[in-house]
Amino acid sequence: MARRVVVVGGGVMGSSAAWHLAARGADVTLFEQFAPGHDRGSSHGSSRIFRLAYADPFYVGLAVRALPLWRRLEEESDTGVLTLTGAVDHGPGPATGALADALTAAGRPVERVTPEQAADRWPGLRVDSTAVFHPEAGRLHADDAVIAFQRAAERRGAVVRHGVRVSGITLRGAGAEVVTADGEAVGADSVVVAVGGWAPVALAALVAGVPALRVTLEQPAHFPAADPLSWPSFIHHGGAGIEPVDGIYGLGSDDGVKAGFHGIGRVIDPDHDDRTPDPATIRALQDYAERWLPGVDADKPSVVTCLYTTTPDHDFVIDRSGPVTVLAGFSGHGFKFASVIGELAADLVEGRPGADRFALGRPTA
Ligand SMILES: Cc1cc2nc3c(=O)[nH]c(=O)nc-3n(C[C@H](O)[C@H](O)[C@H](O)COP(=O)(O)OP(=O)(O)OC[C@H]3O[C@@H](n4cnc5c(N)ncnc54)[C@H](O)[C@@H]3O)c2cc1C
């Protein structure tokens, strides 16, 4: 008999897990509390950066694994989700140099670009240091990717149910019982919990060793620009003379050029707290755009809000405890890996070991 798996959470991670599990023959039901395309979690909107460039070879390797799986998803769902436009990293030399070194060590193409060359190639960006460009990067369409995972999962036999909130998960023998807010009880051999910013509450009494998870409200903005879809993605690494010192990311999208600060938002309870954007942060983004993004209209930001769920070490939580597989703590940089994270989840459900790096109970201090 097929393994019965309930996936809780229909963001990008739960949807990818549902696809991989259904493709391996599991009997999958996914419960998502909100309607398709909702904007209350972390996976909505028109864009996320895909890139191979990390200073840490572990993440370069993970992104390299993710790339062909995005292409497989596109084939199985008949939906385009990933456009490679390349990525520009600029800012202090040690930060960008480490990225170039890691890409070279992994055998991936990368170039160093002078400020003059950068001005010719990307006139919308102001670059005042040697930049690093790698072509295997670009834009994932976030909403389309979630739809594609769910469509591909359904084509493989999964049942995807929106508007169903899971109110309890109880361990029963080697499996579990999942109860919805409407009182429906579903038995499962395995449960994948991929609930984004709801993880601190959902996991508290369910599994041990969950690192401290910090849920924050982030607020990037789209700025009007000519031909935004032609822009590369970019990261301006922080340092002296750059505000904020933690740097800024951005990319072109259907909605304009998106730019945002990484992980500076206020802590939020996703069910109860107000989500009004902070005016001072909007002003700071406009100031940044005026100075560093000559290709956008800095006077017309259109702000979006989104949740980060951040671990102390910024590594993810992808691990299993009994019948419960946890996908959590994607720390503002998980989307690009979603295609492979579903595969890691399916491996765990089938009893294969996970990476120590992502383990429950790891030291994170
Ligand atoms: C502003 C912003 C920019 C980002 N930019 C990038 C980027 O450029 N590149 C990148 O790689 N990553 C990026 N990320 C990170 C990436 O988007 C997230 O890591 C990823 O979307 C997390 O997905 P998730 O499935 O874990 O969470 P979510 O998308 O929040 O999904 C969890 C789902 O679970 C549902 N749920 C919760 N509780 C229940 C319940 N009890 N019953 C049923 N359903 C439930 C929720 O409704 C939600 O839909 C960004 C994030 C933000 C916020």
Q: For the chain, list the domains and their CATH numbers.
A: 4-44+143-209+314-358 (3.50.50.60), 87-135+215-310 (3.30.9.10)
The CA-to-CA distance between both ends of the chain, in Å, stands at 43
Burial class (CB in 10 A: 0-12, 13-18, 19+), 297: middle
Written as six digits, the tokens of 72 are 């497989």
| The two structure tokens encoding residue 40 | 């209350």
- Residue 31 near ligand 1, beta carbon < 6 Å: yes
Integer angstrom CA distances of residue 104 from 59, 64, 65, 84, 89? 14, 13, 16, 19, 15
With 0.95 as the threshold, say if the pTM is over it. yes
pLDDT reading at 239 higher than 90: no
**Closest listed residue to residue 88, CA positions, set 140, 136, 131, 139:** 131
**Ligand 1 close to Cβ of residue 43 (< 6 A):** yes
| pLDDT class of 242 with cuts at 50, 70, 90 | low
Q: Map residue 365 onto helix, strand or coil.
A: coil
Lowest mean pLDDT among 22-26, 159-163, 239-243: 239-243
- Residue closest to 87 by CA, chosen among 294, 252, 308: 252
In angstroms, what is the span from residue 305 Cα to ligand 1's centroid?
A: 12
How far is it, in rounded angstroms, from Cα 260 to Cα 206?
34
What does the alpha-carbon distance between residue 318 and residue 206 come to, in Å, rounded to a whole number? 15
Establish whether residue 143 lines the binding site of ligand 1, counting it when its CB lies within 6 angstroms of any ligand atom.
no
Question: What amino acid occupies position 192?
Answer: V
Ligand 1 atom closest to 12 (CA): 25
Residue 235 has pLDDT above 90, yes or no: yes
pLDDT band of 216, cuts 50, 70, 90: very high
What are the beta bridge partners of residue 139?
49, 83
Q: Whose CA is nearest to atom 4 of ligand 1?
A: 332
- Of 7, 15, 43, 316, the residue with max ligand 1 atoms within 8 A of its CB, to mutate for a pocket test, comes to 43
Q: How far is the CA of 152 from the centre of ligand 1 (A)?
A: 19
Give the CA angle between residues 315, 321, 327 to the nearest 5°: 40
